[in-house]
Structure 1
């Protein structure tokens, strides 16, 4: 990793949404990021079939319910983005939700994919279920899962670190997408809560040194490295990270996703199966490169 060249911000954002009321949060965040990055925004809606009684009736009668939906959606988007100088592109595709998102994303280079809740799934089911799992494994782009309301740019960011190449990729992505921000590099030291004081102090010192060696391997310029704060937490990974997120009012957690794992097996693999379920903030999932070494 070398941050000596200008940051390459995403040129495009792909927001996957069904445009229902509960999708306001990912829509607001996608708009904020698109304006910050001066990026194009595509709003993608995947239609698996008629979703309302009116659409079922239209489908049975052979009328074009999809066309009527698109007209209404374009009008809604025009109102949402009035005064921003931005005109998002609406893309409506039929079929399976995950396949639709993967297909639309594959046609975009230098993009970020944004998802949130759906009228057909609870937020937990979306994050931990098959949709996000297949997306995290199939996307070549970073995947942003939005939970919080948008109150400006991301300012308090945490990158989970297990000293792997996957974590290195996550840190590099955070630095690229959010240049100039302070970032907390967080490592959870498990099994130290009940250790003798001397052993605990030694373990903390070694973990701190491990983080320093990790950063040495990233070959960062001095000014970039100076914006990275090393934090070593204690206890189970999920509990340690979630506790720090809450106490530090973290807005975004960046997690490396191992290539052949399920979405819940991010950062330290199976030890972290329930991390996404507990995080109260937005989460950026970064899939490791094909040649990545997971440590």
Structure 2
């Protein structure tokens, strides 16, 4: 399902949604939700007062732009709470993936995206793909950001089953909060790095690897998780990042909640957010 605001920056998300639809041989649902506070001003064009008119307009535009692809698309236009409608529609249609766009880099657009994602992730159990880049075929290189938790292992299984094509690298960004209190900080962080490498290797060995995913690279780096992730993704040119999103929302301080929020502000790749499954 593609959840879109129908804005001018939605083309990248649509491109990716169509590529995935074709790869999966699936039906694509395009959902636009107009929230009450988004109602037009009194002097705005009155064509938006009737729901069937914009729906017909959207469908006509899609058929003109997409040709035969539009035959595999269902378009839904609704009003109400966006997060609630997205979750309900994804569940009713048994969607495997929710796709949203985030091409713009303005502070306002990032804030708006964060608020919407936060509300969606508090509700949904469906993975969410945040699209940033242009679609150039299937994903080629993916970075799996992990904290080596059970939730992170579950996210890995979801990601590899959905997107087996890219070469995966597992990234564990670790911190050494006591480094400033010891006499030899360099040796202390080196010991922490060696321990992190062993932990990541053991974690990776326990993960089921998709037969087409290849042998993953294991990367441990010292530093703040979000900044370290963004720097590594830019360095290797990955086009997909996989992260676990806490069901408590992006602004939760537990698990990867706050890291996800910070990472979304600096990543330029697409991001697959897999909601944490609560027991």
Please state which band the TM-score falls in when normalised by the shorter chain: 0.7 to 0.9
Superposed CA offset, 1:112-166 (max 9, x none): 00112599x943023322x110111211100111111112211111111111112
> Out of 85, 102, 112, which is 1:126 matched to?
112
Shift of 1:250: 1.4
Q: Report SS of the residue matched to 1:33.
A: helix
Report 1:1-295 matches (<5 A).
14-48=1-35, 50-51=39-40, 57-58=46-47, 65-84=50-69, 86-117=71-102, 122-129=108-115, 131-191=116-176, 196-220=185-209, 223=211, 226-263=214-251, 265=253, 267-270=255-258, 273-291=261-279
Stretches of structure 1 lacking an aligned partner (at least 5 in a row) = 1-13
User: How has the CA–CA distance of structure 1 residues 220 and 115 changed in structure 2, closer, same or farther, with 3 Å as cutoff?
Assistant: closer
Greater share of residues in helix: 2
User: How has the CA–CA distance of structure 1 residues 260 and 97 changed in structure 2, closer, same or farther, with 3 Å as cutoff?
Assistant: closer
TM-score where L is the length of structure 1: 0.81
TM-score where L is the length of structure 2: 0.86
Stretches of structure 2 lacking an aligned partner (at least 5 in a row) = none
Q: Report SS of the residue matched to 2:195.
A: helix
User: How has the CA–CA distance of structure 1 residues 217 and 273 changed in structure 2, closer, same or farther, with 3 Å as cutoff?
Assistant: same
How many correspondences in the alignment? Answer: 271
Cα RMSD between the aligned structures? 2.8
User: How has the CA–CA distance of structure 1 residues 21 and 101 changed in structure 2, closer, same or farther, with 3 Å as cutoff?
Assistant: same
Q: Report SS of the residue matched to 2:75.
A: strand
User: How has the CA–CA distance of structure 1 residues 110 and 41 changed in structure 2, closer, same or farther, with 3 Å as cutoff?
Assistant: closer
Superposed CA offset, 1:181-228 (max 9, x none): 31111000223898644333322221111011112332447x568521
